Chains A and B, each alone.
Chain A
Amino acid sequence: MPNDNKPRVLIVDDMQAMRAMAKSLATSLGAEVIGEAENGQVGLELFLSEKPDLVLLDIEMPVKDGISTLKAILAEDSSANVVMLTSVDNMAVVEDCIFSGARDYIRKDVVPDVMKVRLQKELDKLT
């Protein structure tokens, strides 16, 4: 993390509204959102160029989905902190992400206050 200790966060989600919500929550928790991507391919490129401390990664996305993006990120940096953003009901998909190396997952189909608490915990783990 840089000297100002602000965690640098990358948000990857195909919905602009969801990215805006996550950005608002992350910023309110003192993080710096260093980039946003609308699909996994752009997300991977931003990850490689920006080296964020934390990646919030959606699962269902066009072009490159969350699972293949997760694997590509971890292939580049096995210590990357990737947390899946999901409203997927099929927990097998989420488990696949965890077994593939995602640090955890945050449900995004919950009210912002609940998501904020989960996000706070993920940011706390970085320190």
Chain B
Amino acid sequence: MDPALAEARKMYFEECAELLSEAAERLTNLADTLEATEPEEVNAIFRAVHSAKGGGGAWGLTDLASFAHTYEALLGAVRDGSVGITREIADMLIEANDVLTTLLQNAEQGAATDPSEWSGLADRLKVATIATSASPSLDEPGPVPEPSTGIFRLAPILDNATAAEVRTALLNSMIGVDQIEVFGDQVERVTTLGVQVLLSASREMDDRGGAFSLKDSSPILEESLVALGMSELVDN
């Protein structure tokens, strides 16, 4: 390797270790402040993980980049407000930061990390990402908000989730609500999974006598649904 690139690689490990250490401190604070956390705190954690992910890809650290991607996705959902900062989310983020730090340390030493150390958590992160702040927290049950609308975002699931994870997240979005809004923003292709999600949500709400609506869909998504004979989803 070119000496300058080798130096950049060394720098990546040092810089990321520091960034993740700072992120760990911020996450400890976040676990105390929960929803009162300053947005810039979440931004700073996001940037640390984002940097780890980018460098991971550049230096061929596939597992690290993959896990960081999943961790970053949940942070992105927290950052844009689609996932609330509950106790369980805070704990999960702290756990993810620890795992990413371990992946980084092992990669620096050229050691592999057993997938069992991170794959289970990665699955939980994915489910948490596609569940929404409208989902009741398991440890903080509260009154059903009025109006009781569940929100489900289609975009993240098309790349990241398995059918089982999508079903879980979708059902979580529907707990205690009588109308569901599925956001199709930025979706430029429709997979079988995406169609199943839309149909499941629509039928479930029909069964409940509730309302289904598709929000912010792209022209490509709408054209695809019409072509598949599901124009009623578009018209809702």
Query: Chain A residues in contact with chain B, CB under 8 A?
Result: 14-18, 20-21, 23-24, 27-28, 60-62, 87-92, 107-112, 115
* Total number of B residues with any Cβ neighbor in A under 8 Å: 33
The prevalent SS among residues of B at the interface is: helix
Distance between Cα atoms of A89 and B72 in the complex (Å): 10
A/B pair count, beta carbons within 8 Å = 79
Which single member of B7, B44, B46, B54 contacts A109 (CB below 8 Å)?
A: B54
Does residue B76 face the partner (Cβ distance < 8 Å to A)? Answer: yes
- Contacts A89-B69, A90-B186 known; A17 to B5 CB distance under 8 Å? no
* Contact call B60/A87, Cβ cutoff below 8 A: no
Residues of B with C-beta under 8 A to A109: 53-58, 65
Shortest Cβ gap from A124 to chain B (Å):
21
4 new A-B contacts, CB < 8 A, other than A108-B54, A109-B55, A112-B5, are A17-B14, A20-B8, A24-B2, A89-B159
Most buried by B among A87, A92, A110: A87
* Contact call A111/B54, Cβ cutoff below 8 A: no
- Contacts A20-B7, A61-B47, A87-B53 known; A15 to B58 CB distance under 8 Å? no
Ordered by A's residue number, 5 sampled pairs between the chains whose C-beta atoms are within 8 Å are A17-B55, A18-B54, A20-B4, A87-B53, A109-B55
Interface residues of B in 1-22 (CB under 8 A from A): 2, 4-5, 7-9, 11-12, 14-16
Distance between Cα atoms of A60 and B48 in the complex (Å): 10
Residues of A with C-beta under 8 A to B54: 15, 18, 87, 108-109
Does residue B82 face the partner (Cβ distance < 8 Å to A)? Answer: no
Does residue B51 face the partner (Cβ distance < 8 Å to A)? Answer: yes
In the complex, the chain B residue whose C-beta lies closest to that of A21 is: B8
* Contact call A62/B47, Cβ cutoff below 8 A: yes
Distance between Cα atoms of A14 and B60 in the complex (Å): 21
* Contact call A17/B8, Cβ cutoff below 8 A: yes
* Contact call A60/B46, Cβ cutoff below 8 A: yes
Distance between Cα atoms of A108 and B8 in the complex (Å): 13
Per-residue CB contact flags for chain B residues 40-73 toward chain A (1 = under 8 Å, else 0) read: 0001101100110111111110000100010011
